[in-house]
Amino acid sequence: MTTASTRTIALLPHQFDLIEDTTTRILGLVSGYGGGKTYAVARKACTLALLNPGSDGIITEPNFPLLTQILIPEVEAALEEFGIPFHFNKSEVIFYCTVSGKQTRIICKSMERYDRLIGVNAAWVILDEFDTAKAALAYSAFEKLMGRLRAGNVRQMVIVSTPEGFKAMHRIFVKDAGEGRRLLRARTQDNKHLPPDFIQSLLDTYPDELISAYLDGEFVNLTSGSVYTSYDREVNRSRETLQPGEPIKLGMDFNVGNMAACAYVLRENDWHCVDEIKGGRDTPAMIDTIKDRWAGHHVTIYPDASGANASSKGASISDIGLLRGAGFTIRAKPSNPRVKDRILAVNMAFQNKRVFVNPDTCPETARCLEQQAYDANGEPDKKTGLDHQNDAAGYPLAYEMPVVKPTFESRSLRL
């Protein structure tokens, strides 16, 4: 492997600004999707490692899958591109690099476990996709890791993300803006290396209120007002009813004493919510209700994936196990999608007129979709009880119509 020397790499203007600025104490970059953030982050890490031989650096993602699947391969590619000798310790998730003859570590961690970094003295920290973590966790990680900048020649905190509303990144760079802080901004359109259809795919994928954030990199309020902004009682009104013997696709939410279910039928490619169950006592009681009410129908259940854990009855078999044992077909992944992703899938399904609700046969579902709002912490409110029916309605849609973020191969930026 070659030793580090002067290298020439092609960069977009905002990528160059992020890498070139080594004097701003707290440096940020917000960008729409496809803005080349991870590519820039990996090369920023290499630059800071070269400037701080013998000193540790820290780089994080909000969760471990993002760390292993996205960031680590990009950092490895950047180290090779920069000609920095390295060995990656998979169990420790640390790159051991050689810079100016000194061992120089790049420590890779999930932001969820930032507490494990409290004892590290580092020269630099990079927090990637910062705003996709919960605001309280992200800000706490920022505060604690700022306190670890105690080593090296160039000490810098770098925060990069697609904006997710007025969360931790907005607080750091807008609300608390001041000396020693600089925020760079970029739009998806600024990346001239994207595939021709990438921007259109974003427009087709996300509801209108998210485009300013995910395309233009703007801070917009994503956590106020109604949760299901795309649902309109009249626009999404169904007049369909359940027909004898037709298959039922049933979303189910587990809550002791307040079980909920929403029954869908298909009309061509459209989903119609035509019946509901509210206030169910427990899973065995729900099984009895389903068998009594929908005898003669094949029922496929899309349950809350948490029902694969301990049963709400405290029995040795899980709630999902009880449903499967009762003869129902189960459609469930090992874990639930993120709440944000499920809500996004439901809103897109309503906006694209793929899902309809009969408010005459499903009055509770229609009411809950209209009335559930966000709480003071920017999370869907659960105190009102409106979440149970909405969760049940959302599980089938998130399973069958998930919103998949458009992606592209970031290495195509290299010219």
Delimit the domains of the chain by residue range: 13-222, 248-400
The answer to whether the CB of 217 falls within 8 A of the CB of 161 is no
Q: What is the DSSP letter of 150?
A: -
How many CB atoms are located within 10 Å of the residue 192 CB?
7
Q: Considering the domain 248-400 in this protein, what is its CATH number?
A: 3.30.420.280
Of 302, 285, 311, the closest CA to residue 345 belongs to 302
pTM to 2 decimals? 0.64
Give the architecture (CATH level 2) of 13-222.
3-Layer(aba) Sandwich (3.40)
270 alpha-carbon distance from chain centroid: 27
pLDDT at residue 2 in the model: 37
pLDDT at residue 262 in the model: 98
The answer to whether the CB of 99 falls within 8 A of the CB of 54 is yes
Q: Which residue in this structure is represented by tokens 């119609």?
A: 272
Give, for all 415 residues of the chain, the pLDDT tens digit. Answer: 334 456 677 788 899 999 999 999 999 999 888 888 889 999 999 999 999 999 999 999 988 888 888 899 999 999 999 999 999 999 999 999 999 999 999 999 988 877 777 778 999 999 999 988 888 889 999 999 998 899 999 999 999 998 877 788 889 998 898 899 999 988 888 777 777 777 787 777 777 767 777 777 777 666 666 889 889 999 999 999 999 999 999 999 998 889 999 999 999 999 999 999 999 999 999 999 999 999 999 999 999 988 666 555 544 468 999 999 999 999 998 888 889 899 999 999 999 999 999 999 999 999 999 989 888 777 888 888 999 999 999 999 999 999 877 665 444 333 2
